[in-house]
Amino acid sequence: MDPYAAQKSDKFSFGLWTVGNAGRDPFGEPVRAVQEPNYLVRKLAECGAYGVNLHDNDLVPFGASRTERDRIVREFKQTLKDTGMVVPMATTNLFTHPIFKDGAFSANDPKVRAFALQKTMASIDLGVELGAKIYVFWGGREGTEADACRDPRVAIQRTRAAMDFLCGYVKDQGYDLKFALEAKPNEPRSENYFPTTGHMLHFISTLQHHEMVGVNPEVAHEVMAGLSFVHTVAQAMEANKLFHIDLNGQKIGRYDQDLRFGSEDIKGSFLLVRLLEGTCGGKSYTGPKHFDAHAYRTEDESGVWDFAKGCMRTYKLLAARANAFDSDPEIKALIAEVKDAHLDPLLNASYSRASAQALKAAPIDATAVAKRGLGYERLDQLTIEHIMGARGL
Ligand code: DIG
Ligand code: MN
Ligand code: MN
């Protein structure tokens, strides 16, 4: 039995649009057949996946009648039942139809903003009907080219109004659903509002129902912004706002590549899995591990399933190495908390005049402290050796 084969208990999920990606890009036509959603679900189940995510129109074509929509949903529910797959997350496609060419919630035309709310409410109904507990908002076209087209503050206010309204809708419907906001710095718009997860974390704090809203950080999107994805996720976890996550690979300084997880920046991927699995101490992430990625355009259908299995297998390989890493006595010694019996009580207590006086008077020999080596070269060399299998497993 392959110890790194995916199991449902791993909670790996894929969007229909990921393994269903037909290979179209801005410079070329599709290279693969468009697969039917029920077929994709069955194949994902065979690969050991736990869940499948979807935009409304990944399953129900834009403009479908209610009867057609209900037939499609009925068949899809049967496939979920037959395969034991679940729908952990749903989202709205607010970027393909030309009506969204100037954005959705932040668009200048009130008809567009109203249509976006209408479409999102129907899509939330669909997601809840399929069992989704998380609802993602990726503002793909919420942005600008001609930046004078609207005051960015108005875009923020319109988005806040939409979020507050939709949270109100979820509460009014009595849905057990949380929102997860996904940031991206640009593409397809020249500049996107709320470009990073950090911007989203602040924005959430300004919402009427902020308690039901978290983030869905994506590796590629934070890397596009030149940021550390591990630090992004750590801040979201520390704020108890990591409601979902989009895992993939990305080379820095390029368009949104949505590559197979772990195929780029193996050390960053290792440190991310270590953080999510909690082997480094602290709370682990227990939500669905979603791969928002797709196979290279060079691949046929068998390459798509190589891609899907590769995402999950790499995650499990890195999780095993993270366990070995944090069980390694030398690592433990290198990263052990530095203790100081006199200063710790002062540093860990909240402010008091006494502690301020004591800190002012504390005898600290700056020259001696500055001479102390931290051992990080050894630590990082051992990190590389664990990742390369030269140490640990
Ligand atoms: C792209 O990174 C976005 C869309 O695919 C979707 O809205 C969201 C959900 O993972 N990610
Ligand atoms: Mn992406
Ligand atoms: Mn994504």
Task: Return the ligand 1 atom nearest residue 93 CA.
Answer: 7
Give the architecture-level CATH label for domain 8-327.
Alpha-Beta Barrel (3.20)
For position 393, what pLDDT does the model report? 82
For position 326, what pLDDT does the model report? 98
- In this prediction, residues 228-251 reach a mean pLDDT of 98
CA pair distance 189, 138, nearest whole angstrom? 13
Count CB neighbours of 391 within 10 A.
Answer: 18
Q: Is the CB of 248 under 6 A from ligand 1?
A: no
For position 57, what pLDDT does the model report? 98
The closest residue, in CA terms, to atom 9 on ligand 1 is 136
| Helical residues (DSSP H) of the chain, grouped into ranges | 16-19, 37-47, 56-59, 66-83, 110-129, 152-173, 197-205, 219-224, 229-238, 266-277, 301-327, 329-335, 343-348, 353-361, 366-371, 376-387
CA pair distance 174, 4, nearest whole angstrom? 39
* 1 has pLDDT over 90: no
Q: Is the CB of 218 under 6 A from ligand 1?
A: yes
The closest residue, in CA terms, to atom 3 on ligand 1 is 138
- In this prediction, residues 282-311 reach a mean pLDDT of 98
- In this prediction, residues 104-117 reach a mean pLDDT of 99
CA pair distance 167, 164, nearest whole angstrom? 5
Does residue 362 contact residue 342 with C-beta atoms inside 8 Å? yes
User: Which residues lie closer than 8 Å to 182 by C-beta, 6 or more apart?
Assistant: 136, 137, 138, 139, 200, 215, 216, 217, 218, 221, 246
Does residue 321 contact residue 387 with C-beta atoms inside 8 Å? yes
Encode pLDDT of 338-385 as tens digits: 999 999 999 998 999 999 999 999 999 999 999 999 999 999 999 999
For position 241, what pLDDT does the model report? 98
Distance from residue 108's CA to the centre of ligand 2 (Å): 25
Nearest Cα neighbor of 325 from 245, 234, 393 is 393
User: Which residues lie closer than 8 Å to 13 by C-beta, 6 or more apart?
Assistant: 49, 50, 51, 52, 53, 88, 89, 288, 289, 290, 291
Active-site residue set = 55, 58
Q: Is the CB of 21 under 6 A from ligand 1?
A: no
Task: Return the ligand 1 atom nearest residue 220 CA.
Answer: 2
What percentage of the chain carries pLDDT values higher than 90? Answer: 98
Task: Return the ligand 1 atom nearest residue 244 CA.
Answer: 10
* 252 has pLDDT over 90: yes
The closest residue, in CA terms, to atom 5 on ligand 1 is 292
215 strand-pairing partners: 181, 242
For position 176, what pLDDT does the model report? 98
Encode pLDDT of 126-141 as tens digits: 999 999 999 999 999 9
Question: Count H helices, E strands: the chain?
Answer: 16, 10
Give the pLDDT band of residue 99 (cuts 50, 70, 90): very high
**Residues with a beta carbon under 5 angstroms from ion ligand 2:** 220, 256, 258
Please state whether the predicted TM-score (pTM) of the whole model is above 0.95: yes
Encode pLDDT of 203-215 as tens digits: 999 999 999 999 9
Nearest Cα neighbor of 53 from 10, 14, 79 is 14
CA pair distance 222, 231, nearest whole angstrom? 10
Residue 178 has phi, psi (to 5 degrees) of -115, 150
Domain locations in the chain? 8-327, 329-387
CA pair distance 94, 366, nearest whole angstrom? 56
For residue 181, the surrounding DSSP H or E stretch is strand 178-182
Distance from residue 258's CA to the centre of ligand 1 (Å): 10
